[in-house]
Amino acid sequence: MDAIEVEGLKRRYAGRATAGRRTGATGQGFEAVRDVSFSVREGEIFALLGTNGAGKTSTVEVLEGLARPSAGTVRVLGFDPYGERGFVRPRTGVMLQEGGFPSELTVAETATMWAGVTSEARPPQEALEIVGLGGRAGVRVKQLSGGERRRLDLALALTGRPEVLFLDEPTTGMDPEGRRDTAELVRNLRAEGTTVLLTTHYLEEAEQLADRLAIMQAGRIVASGTPEQVVAERPSRITFRLPRDVLPERLPLNVPAAVDGRTVAVRTHELQWALTELLVWARESGIVLEGLQARSASLEEAFLEIAEAGNRPESGPDRPGPGTGPGTGTGTGAGVGKGTGTTTGAGTGAGARTGVRA
Ligand SMILES: Nc1ncnc2c1ncn2[C@@H]1O[C@H](COP(=O)(O)OP(=O)(O)OP(=O)(O)O)[C@@H](O)[C@H]1O
């Protein structure tokens, strides 16, 4: 059994002024989550990503038992988190986007109050120490910085030694050190067997931390898998500058490229072969490729590409999402070899494309 199972989840909010297929608004309200399915294995860190308003919080709130699904089924540790809340709540920890604790209480009072309503609670000071707030116990909540508040929220979420931990944007407002500490803490929790579902806008964080992830857009999951799998679907990038006296037309024909002045950008799903072809050509021609860089796509690039594709007028949420495999990209990249890209070869593509984002 997986720790979290989501099948065909829909969540609809009553009433909303905007209308139209892309917004998810219908005569019966607004559908913020539209047929979402995924599962999280025990002891796994799973990241739910997406642009603002994609439906992450609306999904996580259902998993936390704070809202009932409009359709579909959700199981946390085998139970319905809404209908069987009593079985689920003591075994889960929740860090909401807004903690909402009384700001006049001190950090220690808040932690103590929370421990008082939590079964098998950690001692409050222990929870504060774990998140690095041990030295701030006497400070009023209203005097904490944004990042410190997030740490306090995290301490409270950990108080019940949860088997499943929900973290909604846990590191928002934290400085780099706080983000690093939180990432380490989450890894330690995983090592102890805790299942973690988190939402975040820090893609590097997700890439480093998550065992698997899903990217949501307009209420749907449009890409999912391990970070490596999601990134592997995006083209790699080779960039370099040609010497002034070498025209782009001379580039090998199997390496179609976007050219901007002397700067050349190649996007390819066949990094090794494209690079080999390019380097062999450069050596045989005695050409130095200045500033040569070759790298795989990052999760951030994958995310931005998916987001851009989703923002195009033709890609409403009723269409299949982008990024389900090589060759289904957005047409901004250059392919290698026969017919994998939409660009023409270097000979005709020179200067015609503006997509160089080196
Ligand atoms: N109570 C509500 N009533 C009506 N619409 C809502 C309500 N709460 C959220 N929405 C809408 O549902 C959509 C999804 O919101 P949600 O908060 O789940 O997105 P999100 O992915 O968590 O975004 P963010 O990254 O900004 O937190 C948005 O369009 C939002 O405006």
- Which residues, other chains included, contact 325 with Cβ-Cβ below 8 Å and sequence gap of 6+? 233
Q: What is the pTM of this model?
A: 0.77
Same topology between domain 2-231+301-339 and domain 235-295 = no
Q: What is the pLDDT of residue 26?
A: 55
The alpha carbon of 140 and the centre of ligand 1 are apart by a number of angstroms equal to 30
Domain limits, the chain: 2-231+301-339, 235-295
Q: Which residue has a Cα nearest atom 3 of ligand 1? A: 13
What tens digit of pLDDT does each residue of 201-233 get? Answer: 999 899 999 999 999 999 999 999 999 999 888
Enumerate residues lining ligand 1, CB below 6 A: 13, 16, 30, 32, 50, 52-58
What tens digit of pLDDT does each residue of 129-148 get? Answer: 999 999 999 999 999 988 88
The alpha carbon of 201 and the centre of ligand 1 are apart by a number of angstroms equal to 15
Q: What is the pLDDT of residue 209?
A: 94
The alpha carbon of 257 and the centre of ligand 1 are apart by a number of angstroms equal to 40
The ligand 1 atom nearest the CA atom of 23: 29
Tell which CATH classification among 3.10.290, 3.30.70, 2.60.120, 3.40.50 matches the domain 235-295: 3.30.70
Q: Which residue has a Cα nearest atom 17 of ligand 1? A: 57
What tens digit of pLDDT does each residue of 263-302 get? Answer: 999 989 889 999 999 999 999 999 999 999 999 888 988 8
What number does CATH give the domain 2-231+301-339? 3.40.50.300
Pocket test for ligand 1, best of 9, 51, 56 (most atoms within 8 A of CB): 56
d(CA 144, CA 281): 60
pLDDT tier, 16 (very low <50, low <70, confident <90, very high otherwise): low
Pocket test for ligand 1, best of 11, 13, 216 (most atoms within 8 A of CB): 13
Measured distance between the N- and C-terminal CA atoms of the chain, rounded to whole angstroms = 45
Angle at 202 between CA 196 and CA 205, to 5 degrees: 55
The ligand 1 atom nearest the CA atom of 97: 27
User: Residue 200 has which token pair?
Assistant: 């975040």
d(CA 248, CA 261): 9
The yes-or-no verdict on residue 81 having pLDDT over 50 is: yes
Could you write out the DSSP letters of every residue in 86-151? HHHGGGEEEE-SS----TTSBHHHHHHHHHHTSTTPPPHHHHHHHTT-GGGTTSBGGGS-HHHHHH
pLDDT tier, 24 (very low <50, low <70, confident <90, very high otherwise): low
What tens digit of pLDDT does each residue of 177-210 get? Answer: 888 988 999 999 999 999 999 999 999 899 999 9
The alpha carbon of 206 and the centre of ligand 1 are apart by a number of angstroms equal to 21
Q: What is the side-by-side strand order in the sheet with 263-268? A: 258-260, 263-268, 236-241, 290-295
Pocket test for ligand 1, best of 30, 95, 167 (most atoms within 8 A of CB): 30
The alpha carbon of 342 and the centre of ligand 1 are apart by a number of angstroms equal to 36
ipTM summary value: 0.97
The yes-or-no verdict on residue 349 having pLDDT over 50 is: no
The alpha carbon of 32 and the centre of ligand 1 are apart by a number of angstroms equal to 7
Average pLDDT of the chain, as a whole number: 83
The alpha carbon of 53 and the centre of ligand 1 are apart by a number of angstroms equal to 5
